[in-house]
Structure 1
């Protein structure tokens, strides 16, 4: 997230496993642990930090200058060692850096018209991907070590490019008719969620085949989607938008017993997405009537929210651009699913 309405927060994001989050502003950056909620790092600078990207809970992170008085050039990615509190490397570009993603072995950097992939160990380039105009730095990566998948914008409107580096395979997906607004890979890179600038429809793709496996409806009115997040076992998807409502969907994925093995599935298995009573007439009525809707929602007073799952499927974490953190529990009572606020903190 960039260009927040709150001038004290220029960027805010979870780390890869959502065990903590970082926000940056006009005089530095701060890192908070999520469970328990507490401030773990605070670094002050004379200038602004526009992007801070963490690598799990490692002391090495990537930062980019930002704001009215940047601490570093917005055209540079600074590799920051927080243990020694100094830069240990940098990558420079001719244009502004829009976003940075980290894996243990690589750094992915999105500029407006190009995405670069570098080795983390020696900062040498590995690949370059040309994209459509990408002012928001839309890019996603898988995070587990045995899967190296990158999803970027394609060269044309509504197109997504999926790179499977270990399989040496590329898929070009015609995801939407309108411009892409948000996309995100599952942790293992097997699934991709996409949404367009209309924000009404979310599509789920199999990255190994490039085929669509599910279509979900957030709503009927346009909205700006800020996050699409898979649960750790890929059984559920959470979505946040400028409407202030969090939507949770059940997914049609193979699930491969990951949930049972790690005791993640605290949501009853018989839950299902909502559908129109006319869905049986699919093929005869407009697609609206056969859409799958979220099985539970949580409404907030905020308009820019980023959501993630906690360690278990029935726990949600929310961070907002006006400086609030929430822990939400998904609960069943009398066969009704609902979201309940457990904790709330003001961090900025």
Structure 2
């Protein structure tokens, strides 16, 4: 009789959603049986909570013990019309907030709960669940909304417009940012800048929250793409973007009164080489010139040529993983809380000026770490430090 134990590979479990906390130090994932909180820098578990039901969305409030939960998955623990504020210290729900339709996103900051629905954004008090403000939006199936310490930004009533609300006064400013519906929004950590991209995915624009004036615009590429995420570095002088093209781009951004803290003494990773496959343990990305303006060389100086030749591009880029088993999309369709049947990919967490991670959900739930460096000539580039499947059960 063969009594040797069977050797079986670890099982990958489906991750329903991924969200970062305010300072990108942690990220929370929704699971079919509860939720987890992981450290951004290492991709390691800090907390795993079994709730005997699916959590389609989990959102941390800073680094506190409060986590907003929305049901999801095959057997949702809670209805998708309700936000549960879970107090991990007390091991119970502290507040329940009911919405009029399925919840697409939740953000927590400054004692407020911001809920994005498909056609509106609503702001509630954390402690009492009292409704404070409500704003109509254009169709917002993806739950696009972002917060800073002073403002909240979300789609306007007209596709392509951004509404910026001052949290203390409720004053609303409108930015006619794009000609097509919004796809991504991100505040800088100090709240002075707001980046946006539309569903066309070629141009990213950055605005000042002080006067709503455009600070700059950069070009991701010429082909249409679905932008997955935008994220500023802590200083606000660098902006990262990901898309369904499977490329992480890094752009220089002019930030008033700020300077980048990125100044490595020596190259951290090998000098730039050709793009590596996302599954490789490490590798350097492509450098497109130190300021992103030299992509087309002398052609950028020729008058009368299309603007794509003179636009500012990313100064470095590198592939990231968008892999997902073909059967995962069908599996996600039975309870996604985020308004999509496709698992999230390409979420960016820039936790210090030199290091950032890209995280995805689904069955191929990966954590990839990237690092900024300089080559022997002084040109900046982004390199891959490594990756792992962060949620695997034995």
* TM-score after normalising by structure 2: 0.79
The unaligned stretches of length 5 or more in structure 1 are 1-5
Match of 2:305 among 285, 290, 296: 285
> 2:274 matched to 1:274?
no
Q: Which residue of 2 aligns with 1:346?
A: 389
What displacement does 1:324 show?
A: 1.2
> 2:359 matched to 1:319?
yes
Q: Is the 8 A contact 2:40 2:349 kept in 1?
A: no
After TM superposition, what 4+ stretches of structure 1 lie above 6 angstroms from structure 2? none
Structure 1 distance, partners of 2:264, 2:155, is 33
Q: Which residue of 1 aligns with 2:272?
A: none
Structure 2 distance, partners of 1:208, 1:101, is 22
Number of residue pairs matched by the alignment: 331
Q: Which residue of 1 aligns with 2:143?
A: 137
What displacement does 1:329 show?
A: 1.1
Structure 2 distance, partners of 1:149, 1:342, is 34
**3-state SS in 1 of match to 2:152:** strand
Q: Is the 8 A contact 1:191 1:204 kept in 2?
A: yes
Structure 1 distance, partners of 2:49, 2:170, is 40
Q: Is the 8 A contact 1:238 1:308 kept in 2?
A: no
Structure 1 distance, partners of 2:50, 2:96, is 19
> 2:86 matched to 1:117?
no
Q: Is the 8 A contact 2:368 2:384 kept in 1?
A: yes
What displacement does 1:31 show?
A: 1.0
Q: Is the 8 A contact 2:82 2:99 kept in 1?
A: yes
**3-state SS in 2 of match to 1:288:** helix
Question: Which range is displaced more, 231-240 or 295-304?
Answer: 295-304
Superposed counterparts of 1:217-296, under 5 Å: 217-256=219-258, 259=260, 264-266=261-263, 271-275=290-294, 276-277=296-297, 278-281=299-302, 284-296=304-316
Deviations 1:79-133 (A, max 9, x none): 1011222111100022101100010321110111110111223322221111111
Structure 2 distance, partners of 1:58, 1:300, is 30
Match of 2:351 among 310, 317, 322: 310
Q: Is the 8 A contact 1:235 1:255 kept in 2?
A: no
* TM-score after normalising by structure 1: 0.89
**3-state SS in 1 of match to 2:44:** strand
Structure 2 distance, partners of 1:55, 1:149, is 16
Superposed counterparts of 1:82-161, under 5 Å: 82-142=88-148, 144=149, 148-161=150-163
What displacement does 1:28 show?
A: 1.0
Superposed counterparts of 1:175-214, under 5 Å: 175-214=177-216
Deviations 1:43-96 (A, max 9, x none): 112221011000122111100001221100100000101122211110002210
What displacement does 1:338 show?
A: 2.7
Deviations 1:275-319 (A, max 9, x none): 43333346x3322122110001111232521112122x2211111
Structure 2 distance, partners of 1:44, 1:176, is 42
Q: Report the aligned-residue RMSD.
A: 2.0
**3-state SS in 1 of match to 2:121:** strand
Match of 1:38 among 37, 41, 44: 44
Superposed counterparts of 1:4-83, under 5 Å: 8-83=14-89
Q: Is the 8 A contact 1:190 1:206 kept in 2?
A: yes
Q: Which of these two proteins has the greater Rg computed from alpha carbons?
A: 2
